[in-house]
Amino acid sequence: MTVYETERLVVRRWTADQADLDRLTDIYTRDEILRWLPPFTFEAAPAVERWRAMHEADGRFGSWAVQVRETGVAAGTVLFRPIPGGDGEVEVGWHLHPDSWGNGYATEAARGAVERGFAAGLAEVLALVKPDNEASLAVCRRLGMTPLGRTDRFFGLEAEMFRLTAPR
């Protein structure tokens, strides 16, 4: 089920299809991904169900598959959701498989999510990035996000926080 499309990507819901579950497991069990995320235990099928429920509760939000239009490969996940433990702040984030790094997919998918959120009436969107995650810091800069400095307010981890406000 397509959520939105960009020039090169189809952003869709993750499904309980075995190919999606296998790809999710491959992404969320890799050390090169996990080093940038808060500690958690990942099980693909329950995650897909949680993400489906989030999207059904409020269609603005979810954690969606970033599928490359040309190949049909799920490059990773773009998330757009209220920050857990926050006061209603909405975050955009991305977790791409290493075989999809360096193609601009994170920026393209995140830009689409943010534009969709602004079109739905959101005034601002945040991003939280571990301070030494240079690739994700670069995505924030390419999105035109304003750095707000470091915070440990969310997830119990120190992160660089960025904000993007809706155009007037």
The domain containing residue 32 runs over which residues? 2-165
Residue 83 neighbours by CB under 8 Å, 6+ apart? 89, 90, 91, 126, 128, 154
Indicate the pTM of the whole model.
0.95
Q: How confident is the model over 102-151, as pLDDT tens digits?
A: 999 999 999 999 999 999 999 999 999 999 999 999 999 999 999 999 99
Question: Cα–Cα distance between 34 and 167 in angstroms, integer?
Answer: 33
Give burial (CB, 10 Å; 0-12/13-18/19+) of 84: exposed
* 16: CATH: 3.40.630.30
Question: Cα–Cα distance between 6 and 27 in angstroms, integer?
Answer: 22
Question: Cα–Cα distance between 152 and 149 in angstroms, integer?
Answer: 10
Query: Residue 160: how many CB atoms within 10 A of its CB?
Result: 19
Question: Cα–Cα distance between 104 and 147 in angstroms, integer?
Answer: 20
Question: Which pLDDT score is estimated for 159?
Answer: 95
Ranges of residues in the chain whose predicted pLDDT is under 70 = none
Question: Which pLDDT score is estimated for 3?
Answer: 97
Question: Cα–Cα distance between 7 and 133 in angstroms, integer?
Answer: 26
Domain count, the chain: 1
